[in-house]
A and B are shown apart, each in its own frame.
Chain A
Amino acid sequence: MDLRPKLAVFKFASCDGCQLSLLDCEDELLALAASIEIANFAEASSAVIEGPYDLALVEGSITTPHDADRILEVRRQSRVLVTIGACATAGGIQALRNFGSVEEYTRIVYAKPSYISTLATSTPIADHVKVDYELRGCPVNKHQLLEVISAFLNHRAPRVAAHSVCVECKARGITCVMVARGEPCLGPVTHAGCGALCPAYDRPCFGCYGPKELANPAALGEWARTALGADAATVRRQFQTFNAWAEPFRTEGRRDD
Chain B
Amino acid sequence: MTVPSLLTTADLDRLIRMLADGGYTCVGPALRDGAIVYDEIGGVADLPAGWTDVQDAGRYRLERRGDGALFGYNVGAHSWKKYLFPPAEQLWRIPRATDTIRPLTPPQHPVRHAFIGVRGCDLAAIGIQGRVFGHGEHGDGRYAARRDAAFVVAVNCTMAGGTCFCTSMGTGPAAGPGYDLALTELVDADRHGFVVDAGSERGAALLERLACPAAGDAEIADARARVDETAGRMGRTLATDGLREVLLRQLDSPHWDEVGERCLACANCTLVCPTCFCSSVEDVSDLDGSHAERWRRWDSCFNPGFSHIHGGEVRNSTGARYRQWLTHKLATWHDQFGTSGCVGCGRCVTWCPVGIDLTAEAARLREREDSA
Which residues of A are interface residues toward B (Cβ below 8 A)? 28, 31-32, 34-35, 146, 149-150, 153-154, 156, 159, 161-164, 166-167, 170-176, 178-182, 185, 187-189, 202, 212-216, 219-220, 222-223, 227
Contacts and interface: CB of A to CB of B under 8 A. Distances in A.
Q: Interface on chain B toward A: helix, strand, loop, or mixed SS?
A: loop
Contact of B304 (A31, A34, A178, A214): A214
B272 A170 contact: yes
- Main DSSP-derived SS at the A contact region: helix
25 contacts: A34-B288, A149-B287, A150-B286, A154-B285, A156-B283, A161-B303, A163-B303, A164-B264, A164-B266, A170-B298, A171-B271, A173-B78, A175-B37, A176-B353, A179-B60, A179-B350, A202-B33, A214-B304, A214-B317, A215-B264, A219-B262, A222-B354, A227-B59, A227-B354, A227-B355
B268 interface: yes
B300 interface: yes
B183 interface: no
A34 B123 CA distance: 53
A174 B282 CA distance: 23
Given A170-B298, A176-B77, A153 B287 contact: yes
B34 A187 contact: no
What 6 A-B pairs have minimum CB-CB distances, sorted nearest first? A188-B266, A170-B271, A171-B87, A213-B304, A188-B264, A223-B354
Interface string B350-369: 11111100000000000000
Contacts of A180: 33-35, 60-61, 77
Contacts of B300: 163, 167
Nearest to B38: A173
A13 B266 CA distance: 32
Contact of A219 (B261, B268, B285, B351): B261
Given A154-B289, A170-B298, A173-B82, A214 B60 contact: no
Contacts of B286: 31, 150
Contacts of A163: 267, 300, 302-305
Contacts of A32: 287
A173 B33 CA distance: 11
Contacts of B271: 166-167, 170-171
Contact of A171 (B33, B283, B298, B302): B298
